[in-house]
Chains A and B, each alone.
Chain A
Amino acid sequence: MTVVRSSASVGKNELIRLLEFKEFRLANGLHLLVGEVHSLPIVSYQVHFAAGSRYERPGITGITHLFEHMMFKGTKELGPEEFSRIIQANGGTLNAFTTTDNTSYYENLPANKLELAVRLEADRLQNLQITPESLEPEREVVRSERKLRSVNTPFGLLIEQLYALAYEQHPYRWPVIGWDHDLKNLTLENCLEYYRTYYAPNNAVVVIVGDVSADEALKTVDRFYGTLPSPPHPRQIITPEKAQRGEKRAVFKKVSQVAAFFASFHIPGISHPDLFPLQILCGALSAGRSSRFFEKLEKPGKAVEAHAEMGHPPFFSMDPGLLQIYAIASPSVPLATLEQEIWEEVEDLRQKTLSREELSKVKKQVRSYFLRNLQTFFFQGLLAGLYQVRAGDFHLLYKILPGYESVTEEDVLRVAQKYLRPENRTLVSLQPVSHSEHEDLGELE
């Protein structure tokens, strides 16, 4: 066993006091981060793989997420779904999630059951058993999930179209859950190939946060993962998105009680310092009841909802992502009027600096929001794990609070002018239609 060990040493600030990670790397490349927190007798065990929909290609969209489901279908030792039953029977909760950039598995369980989680996760990393019989029902489960999350929600398909329009070349253009046609045609061989390519110790970050000793945790992880081989990293070519040179617009028609639009602007990826002033900008527009959108649009009843968002740490995308501005029009307000008012607000931010009071208020809001999220061991683990897997360096988490604090009025003005340009904008509007028009347009899928 070769172990490289270091303590967090970047950005000495209050977060170090609250959240210190010890870092290890096994000889096979597995990255391990351990946070010792003893306030409750529980632990969060997380395995984050560098496997997301950005690694897919047309024709197999949705494979990352479908395969996440297949990871619960049994190993040489365990039957289908037995993994979940055993963790729960030992007082644990568990789940997994797939994003554009990573697939993550986690168990939150009593601290003295850590070894169980390590053993079962290591087992399915090397001994997964999947068959056509286990694939077929799960394919239908995922298609049902797609209907739940995208097709039968008010705005799911609208957002899919927004990404498909905003990105022309980069894989963020297709949804994580995949296109229905691809889901119907994914094969067992696709799944096995995905497993062989991306599920290896050198493509994973393991995070442990809770009532454990780091040294003991290392020993346990090394015992179960240390002998697993790591293949060479796959050759990955991710086509970057070129700069947008003009506004793009589309219309989506469906049965709806309201009209709405979803717009986006390309912004940088997770490691870029401009994300901090951009987040302050989003806060000024729509965080809280003193925000600009609430006071001018929601409160007087022009919009049912108007919002600017780009995710919060650690959920910034690995590659350049999107800042979204969306608005749902009140029944009596024309969408065009609402849209115009929204862009006037945005333009104001591109012309004038925030007042010192407004900047100070939003800074305090984002700081409080971040601290509130830190309350769970699970979130603390996500923070380290996702910064490591998406940005390649978990130490960036220590730059979040100083990053917000250092934002100036000029920074916000600069990023507003740089990113919220009409040329960088993509917009999809929802146009309500009758049931008969809806049917004439074909089945939603």
Chain B
Amino acid sequence: MKTGSPFKTFTLPKVVSSLLPNGLKVHAVLKPGLPLVSIHLIYPYGAEADPPGKAGLSDLMAEMLTLGTQKRSAAQLAADVDGLGATLSAHSGWDSTSLHISGLGEDWEKLMELLLEIHTQPAFLLPEFEQLKQRRIAALVQQKDESQVIADERFQEILFQGTPYDHPVYGNLDTLPSLSGEEVEEFYRSRFSPEGCFLVVVGDFKVEACCRWIETHFPSVTRGHEAKAGEFSPVSLSSIKTIIIDRPDLTQSQIRLGHIGIPHAHPDYLAFEVMNYVLGAGGFSSRLMQKIRSERGYTYGIRASLEGRKKPGPFIVSTFTPTETTFPCVQEILAVERSFVAQGATDQERTEAINFLTGSYPMKFETLSQIAQKIIQTEVNGLGLEYLSAYPERVSAITLEAMARSAREHLHIEKMLVVIVGRAGKFRREFEPLGPVEIRE
């Protein structure tokens, strides 16, 4: 695959994809060099599958998979994983759940055996569940001190009301205490059957032998199962709305503003990505960074991002600023956005954005995890593997007009949700002319 004229030719790592006779889809990538291997088993459900009032169930279930099998206690499993110098983790994203083990390439078979055992014979031991739940509750209590985390979570909770994305992946203090071990196990049995799973194996290992091993040992899978789509009926705002989470002890405000964006598979996604590089994702090349940091000195960092999910993900501008510049900072962000939508990007900005996105593309394939994540993302978000090889060419073809259209159609500046974590008493009144202001604890 060629990345376009200014840069040296880049060949994507070869992905060997196969649908094994047992029905399991496997993507294998041989990456010689370092003696490492990274194995990911992906379930087609994530936190969006948490039932109402059960926020955190999927992610809790994922971690329970790593806490013992019918053959090994949690302590034994941990000792066996650590003894291989391996790492084992399981967690839910929004649209999928990942069981991941990585270690030395020479151990690929032992790692695969462990993964299979965890996948097919989890123990769901109640004492382990109770301890895990208490650990998570304690961690959530501690997280109340993290203003950045509070800002991210509250913004998304409020923004995604009425959708399956309306809660933190790992749950919250309202839901977690009431979840039971039986519920977690039942959730696993009903949702996390091998149907719809796929494997991604990347590293320095014996590809053919590994695929044969998977075919021989993994249980048969019935293909064609589709995850049920949850209701996606977000509450749309009619004007800018500001919600301030009052934290009188802070000397700096965390600011999030944005709205629901478009799904990763949307035809305008790449145009939005190029456009947003100019607006707020392009570091010091972005309009927001130039104005808010370089000219005004309001913040150390500011970034606008659109998160690519299966369903529409959030478009968020994230920054922080000392308490006294909170309102001027938000006002300036809105001014930059309005001016950008009105005037659009320049031809030079477009060229620079495309050069960055295509020129830096090979760096997204340096590590085993990066390669695996790229494959997983295309599968889960329904993009198709060819997306990876076609990306540079498609990005290069984005026109100024396509960028301007994506800004006009997919940026909703006058209907932004603004969430601030900081000293409400110091700046609340300044926000009132923008629209409704609400103070929360």
A residues at B contact (CB < 8 Å): 18, 39-42, 72, 80-81, 84-85, 88-93, 108-113, 136-145, 147-148, 151-154, 211, 254-258, 287-291, 294-295, 298-301, 304-305, 328, 330-331, 357, 360-361, 364-365, 367-369, 371-372, 374-377, 435, 438-439, 443-445
Which of B8, B249, B297, B320 is close to A254, meaning CB atoms less than 8 Å apart?
A: B249
Q: Do A257 and B300 contact each other (CB < 8 Å), given the known contacts A88-B356, A372-B36?
A: no
Pick the interface stretch among B139-147, B188-196, B229-237, B425-433.
B139-147
A256 to B249, CA, bound (A): 10
Collect the chain B residues with CB atoms within 8 Å of residue A435's CB. 248-249
User: B78 on the interface (CB 8 Å rule)?
Assistant: yes
Q: Is the CB of A110 within 8 A of B285?
A: no
Q: Is the CB of B86 within 8 A of A368?
A: yes
Collect the chain B residues with CB atoms within 8 Å of residue A84's CB. 283-285
What distance in Å separates the Cβ of B274 from its nearest Cβ neighbour in chain A?
A: 13
Q: Is the CB of B295 within 8 A of A376?
A: no
Count how many pairs of residues, one from A and one from B, have CB atoms less than 8 Å apart in the complex: 206
Instruction: Apart from A140-B297, A304-B139, list 6 A-B contacts with CB within 8 A.
Output: A40-B363, A84-B283, A84-B285, A93-B363, A137-B295, A144-B322
User: B82 on the interface (CB 8 Å rule)?
Assistant: yes
User: B109 on the interface (CB 8 Å rule)?
Assistant: no
Residue of B nearest to A154 (CB): B145
Q: Is the CB of A148 within 8 A of B249?
A: no
What distance in Å separates the Cβ of A408 from its nearest Cβ neighbour in chain B?
A: 19
Q: Is the CB of A91 within 8 A of B6?
A: yes
Collect the chain A residues with CB atoms within 8 Å of residue B298's CB. 140, 144
Q: Do A301 and B145 contact each other (CB < 8 Å), given the known contacts A111-B8, A361-B83?
A: no
What distance in Å separates the Cβ of B76 from its nearest Cβ neighbour in chain A?
A: 9
A138 to B307, CA, bound (A): 30
Collect the chain A residues with CB atoms within 8 Å of residue B10's CB. 40-41
Residue of A nearest to B134 (CB): A301
A–B complex contacts, Cβ < 8 Å, 8 sampled: A42-B366, A88-B352, A90-B359, A91-B6, A137-B294, A144-B299, A290-B75, A372-B36
Q: Is the CB of A301 within 8 A of B82?
A: no
Q: Is the CB of B322 within 8 A of A258?
A: no
Residue of A nearest to B248 (CB): A435
Within 8 A of A (CB), among B234-284: 248-252, 282-284
Collect the chain A residues with CB atoms within 8 Å of residue B248's CB. 435, 439
What distance in Å separates the Cβ of A305 from its nearest Cβ neighbour in chain B?
A: 8
Q: Is the CB of A147 within 8 A of B8?
A: no
What distance in Å separates the Cβ of B10 from its nearest Cβ neighbour in chain A?
A: 5
What distance in Å separates the Cβ of B395 from its nearest Cβ neighbour in chain A?
A: 12
Collect the chain A residues with CB atoms within 8 Å of residue B33's CB. 18, 39
Q: Do A152 and B104 contact each other (CB < 8 Å), given the known contacts A93-B363, A365-B85?
A: no
What distance in Å separates the Cβ of A261 from its nearest Cβ neighbour in chain B?
A: 14
Which of B34, B142, B297, B356 is close to A371, meaning CB atoms less than 8 Å apart?
A: B34
Q: Do A147 and B79 contact each other (CB < 8 Å), given the known contacts A88-B285, A257-B145?
A: no
Q: Is the CB of A152 within 8 A of B147?
A: yes
Within 8 A of A (CB), among B8-34: 8-10, 33-34
Residue of A nearest to B254 (CB): A152
What distance in Å separates the Cβ of B31 from its nearest Cβ neighbour in chain A?
A: 8
Within 8 A of A (CB), among B84-110: 84-87, 102-104
Collect the chain A residues with CB atoms within 8 Å of residue B82's CB. 287-291, 361, 365
What distance in Å separates the Cβ of A411 from its nearest Cβ neighbour in chain B?
A: 19
Collect the chain B residues with CB atoms within 8 Å of residue A92's CB. 356, 359-360
Within 8 A of A (CB), among B196-229: none
Q: Is the CB of A304 within 8 A of B35?
A: no
Per-residue interface assignment for chain B, residues 136 to 154, with 1 indicating a CB less than 8 Å from any chain A CB and 0 otherwise:
0011011011110000000
What distance in Å separates the Cβ of A432 from its nearest Cβ neighbour in chain B?
A: 9
Q: Is the CB of A88 within 8 A of B282?
A: yes
Collect the chain A residues with CB atoms within 8 Å of residue B8's CB. 41, 110-112, 211
A75 to B5, CA, bound (A): 29
Collect the chain A residues with CB atoms within 8 Å of residue B78's CB. 288-290, 294-295
Q: Is the CB of B145 within 8 A of A444?
A: no
Collect the chain A residues with CB atoms within 8 Å of residue B74's CB. 289
Residue of A nearest to B78 (CB): A289
A215 to B293, CA, bound (A): 40
Collect the chain A residues with CB atoms within 8 Å of residue B321's CB. 144
What distance in Å separates the Cβ of A183 from its nearest Cβ neighbour in chain B?
A: 12
Q: Is the CB of A148 within 8 A of B320?
A: yes
User: B362 on the interface (CB 8 Å rule)?
Assistant: yes
Q: Is the CB of A18 within 8 A of B297?
A: no
User: B331 on the interface (CB 8 Å rule)?
Assistant: no
Per-residue interface assignment for chain B, residues 354 to 384, with 1 indicating a CB less than 8 Å from any chain A CB and 0 otherwise:
0110111111011110000000000000000
A109 to B8, CA, bound (A): 11
Q: Is the CB of B355 within 8 A of A364?
A: no
Q: Is the CB of A112 within 8 A of B7?
A: yes
Which of B131, B284, B361 is close to A301, meaning CB atoms less than 8 Å apart?
A: B131
Collect the chain B residues with CB atoms within 8 Å of residue A90's CB. 6, 355, 359
Q: Do A110 and B81 contact each other (CB < 8 Å), given the known contacts A88-B352, A375-B367?
A: no
User: B408 on the interface (CB 8 Å rule)?
Assistant: no
Q: Is the CB of A91 within 8 A of B358?
A: yes
Which of A141, A330, A357 is close to B138, meaning CB atoms less than 8 Å apart?
A: A330
User: B351 on the interface (CB 8 Å rule)?
Assistant: yes
Collect the chain A residues with CB atoms within 8 Å of residue B365's CB. 40
Which of A112, A137, A211, A375 is close to B366, meaning CB atoms less than 8 Å apart?
A: A375
Within 8 A of A (CB), among B296-319: 296-300
